[in-house]
């Protein structure tokens, strides 16, 4: 009964309330996204809708980058809005005009130059989104962490409302703006117990090294609360929660 799009909506509303409570910009913990409905990639229907959403999200991200002085080129990821974490078709898009270009590429492109193999893989993935459905266009966030010289992203495990651990997903063959959930990934435990340091007493704000592991846990707990809101809103047997 769960859908990624419903979860993102619940998390967005929660992050706004959380941001207001702390006096922070919710964008710092919630990437910009949009839902493109009625898109049929296989038949080429609704591509203009998808392109429009890609352009709109990229425009919003550019404004945020300018506001915060981020000197990077923004990008988005396009993925299915249905349930399941292993669905195909997670594609990186850097410009709205790339959408039609990716769809129009053949399934097999000779790797005659650097990057050609990656282009062919992205074209294949986008065309794997075959069923007419809604797609999610989500702001891409660069994976800036490294483990064993590979790009690494954190994954947090929870039981009930408690953070109980996690791991880094590491992929040496992927770039910081690419999906790491692919064959060839390796996994390294997150050292929560050794990294529970706090800001030093008397130190100026921001002077102490940030405890990124704690922040991962905060976002994980927010996502868990958002999941509960999502299920209450979409479960046909919601009365059991009362």
Q: Do the beta carbons of residue 94 and residue 101 sit within 8 Å?
A: no
Question: What is the secondary structure of the chain as a DSSP string?
Answer: ---HHHHHHHHHHHHHHHHHHHT--GGGTS--EEEEEEEBTTTTBTHHHHHHHHHHHHHHHHHHHHHHT--S---EEEEE-SS-SS-S--EEESSTTHHHHHHHS-S-----STTHHHHHHHHHHHHT--SSEEEEEEE-----EEETTEEEEEEEEEETTEEEEEEEEEETTS-TTS---STT-EEEE--TTT----PPTTPPTTTSPP-HHHHHHHHHHHHHHHHHHHHHHH-TTGGGG-
Whole-number average pLDDT of the chain? 79
For residue 116, pLDDT over 60 is answered with no
Percent of the chain beyond pLDDT 70?
74
For residue 98, pLDDT over 90 is answered with no
The predicted pLDDT at position 23 comes to 96
Quick one: tokens of 160? 């009930």
Whole-angstrom distance between the N-terminal and C-terminal Cα of the chain? 19
Q: Do the beta carbons of residue 30 and residue 15 sit within 8 Å?
A: yes
35-39, 85-89, 95-99, 218-222, range with greatest mean pLDDT: 218-222
Residue 222: Cβ within 10 Å count = 17
| pLDDT, tens digit, 9 for 90 and up, residues 147-201 | 888 888 889 988 888 888 888 899 888 888 777 888 888 898 876 655 545 666 7
| pLDDT, tens digit, 9 for 90 and up, residues 226-235 | 998 998 888 7
The predicted pLDDT at position 123 comes to 44
- Give the Cα separation of 180 and 217 in Å (integer): 20
For residue 9, pLDDT over 90 is answered with yes
| pLDDT, tens digit, 9 for 90 and up, residues 206-232 | 676 667 778 888 999 999 999 989 988
Q: Tell me which of 197 and 16 has the higher pLDDT.
A: 16
Report CA torsion sign: 96, 62, 15, 198: positive
Residues in Cβ contact with 29 at an 8 Å cutoff, skipping those fewer than 6 apart: 15, 18, 19, 218, 219, 222
Please state which of the ranges 64-73, 119-128, 217-226 shows the lowest mean pLDDT: 119-128
Question: Which pTM was predicted?
Answer: 0.75
Q: Tell me which of 144 and 192 has the higher pLDDT.
A: 144
């Amino acid at each position: 009964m769960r859908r990624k799009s419903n979860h993102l909506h619940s998390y967005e509303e929660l992050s706004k309330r959380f941001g207001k409570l702390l006096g922070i910009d919710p964008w710092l913990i919630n990437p910009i996204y949009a839902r493109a409905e009625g898109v049929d990639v296989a038949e080429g229907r609704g591509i203009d809708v998808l392109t429009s959403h890609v352009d709109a999200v990229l425009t919003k991200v550019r404004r945020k980058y300018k506001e915060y002085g981020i000197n990077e080129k923004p990008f988005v990821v396009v993925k299915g809005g249905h349930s399941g974490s292993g669905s195909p078709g997670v594609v990186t898009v850097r410009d709205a005009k790339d959408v039609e270009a990716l769809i129009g590429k053949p399934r097999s492109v000779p790797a005659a130059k650097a990057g050609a193999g990656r282009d062919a893989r992205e074209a294949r993935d986008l065309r794997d989104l075959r069923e007419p459905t809604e797609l999610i266009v989500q702001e891409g966030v660069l994976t800036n962490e490294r483990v064993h010289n590979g790009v690494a992203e954190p994954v947090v495990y929870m039981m009930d409302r408690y953070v109980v651990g996690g791991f880094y997903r590491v992929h040496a063959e992927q770039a910081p703006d690419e999906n790491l959930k692919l064959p060839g990934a390796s996994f390294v435990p997150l050292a929560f117990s050794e990294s529970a340091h706090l800001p030093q007493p008397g130190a100026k704000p921001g002077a102490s090294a940030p405890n990124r592991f704690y922040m991962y846990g905060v976002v994980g707990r927010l996502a868990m609360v958002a999941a509960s809101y999502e299920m209450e809103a979409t479960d046909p047997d919601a009365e059991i929660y009362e």
